[in-house]
């Protein structure tokens, strides 16, 4: 059994120019294997401002960066990134998958391995139950029966509603803290979904960010239970 920690965080509204250093500290302190970040433009230049998808380095982590798409509106234009600890996580195959819905952002989709245990993982930023279902079904189709999968992000959909609806209709696990993750709205919008087989959820927690961004960072711990 292999335990891994995954962070999801929408950084919208973060005004602190030292954000890069704060994220490095959080990743190290919480032993994060993979981080899914949304709206990373607010992080300033450390993520890069080039208008192109790319892999770059961020301290002890590698990062796949998808830039802001200015002509689009709302969530469809927001920059995103996935970071992975290069010491404990094997170099993934990773790409950006555009959404079939014009008003929604696509997925960052990667094939990962930790401790010789393979899994697929995606970073999500969108809204609407239909879009969530579309993303989950994409993960199922591209993972098949043999590969476990997870998807984390800002779903803009109340976690309790997903627990009673999407979880049951799509037969998936939901990885949520049960805490408010966007204080301004009093809602839990940041969490994850996962396949039923091949992993066990150990828990999730939303961390206080001192009011520096609209959303709270959420860390989920899971155990990969088979090869």
pLDDT at 227: 67
The pLDDT assigned to 12 comes to 85
Element (H, E) at 118: strand 117-125
For residue 98, which phi and psi values (nearest 5 degrees)? -60, 150
Torsion of CA 114, 191, 184, 217, to 10 degrees: -10
The confidence score (pLDDT) of residue 78 equals: 78
Q: How far apart are CA 181 and CA 167, in angstroms?
A: 19
- Please choose, from the candidates 52, 34, 73, the residue with its C-alpha nearest in 3D space to the C-alpha of residue 151: 34
Q: Which domains does the chain have, with CATH numbers?
A: 2-224 (3.60.10.10)
Helices (H), 65-182: 129-143, 159-164, 166-170
Instruction: Name the stretches of the chain with pLDDT < 70.
Output: 15-19, 41-53, 68-77, 103, 227
Output the pLDDT for position 206: 96
What would the two tokens of residue 131 be? 């879009």
pLDDT, tens digit, 9 for 90 and up, residues 151-210: 999 999 999 999 989 999 999 999 999 999 999 999 999 999 999 999 999 999 999 887
pTM of the predicted protein model? 0.92
Instruction: Show Cβ contacts of residue 205 under 8 Å, excluding neighbours closer than 6 positions.
Output: 177, 179, 218, 219
């Amino acid at each position: 059994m292999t335990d891994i920690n995954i962070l999801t965080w929408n950084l919208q509204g973060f005004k602190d120019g030292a954000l890069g250093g704060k994220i490095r500290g959080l990743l190290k302190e919480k032993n994060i294997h993979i981080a899914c970040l949304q709206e990373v433009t607010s992080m300033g230049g450390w993520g890069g401002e080039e208008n192109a998808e790319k892999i770059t380095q961020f301290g002890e982590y590698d990062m796949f960066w998808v830039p802001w798409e200015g002509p689009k509106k709302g969530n469809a234009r927001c920059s995103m990134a996935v970071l992975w600890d290069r010491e404990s996580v094997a170099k993934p195959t990773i790409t950006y998958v555009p959404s079939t819905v014009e008003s929604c952002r696509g997925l960052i989709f990667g094939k990962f391995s930790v401790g010789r245990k393979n899994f697929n993982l995606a970073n999500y930023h969108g809204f609407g139950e239909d879009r969530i279902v579309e993303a989950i079904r994409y993960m199922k189709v591209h993972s098949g029966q043999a590969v476990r999968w997870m998807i984390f992000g800002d779903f803009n959909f109340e976690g309790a509603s997903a627990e009673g609806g999407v979880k049951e209709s799509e037969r998936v696990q939901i990885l949520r803290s049960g805490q408010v993750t966007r204080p301004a709205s009093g809602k839990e919008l940041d969490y994850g979904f996962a396949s039923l087989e091949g992993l066990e959820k150990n828990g999730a927690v939303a961390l206080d960010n001192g009011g520096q961004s609209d959303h709270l960072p959420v860390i989920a711990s899971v155990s990969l239970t088979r090869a």
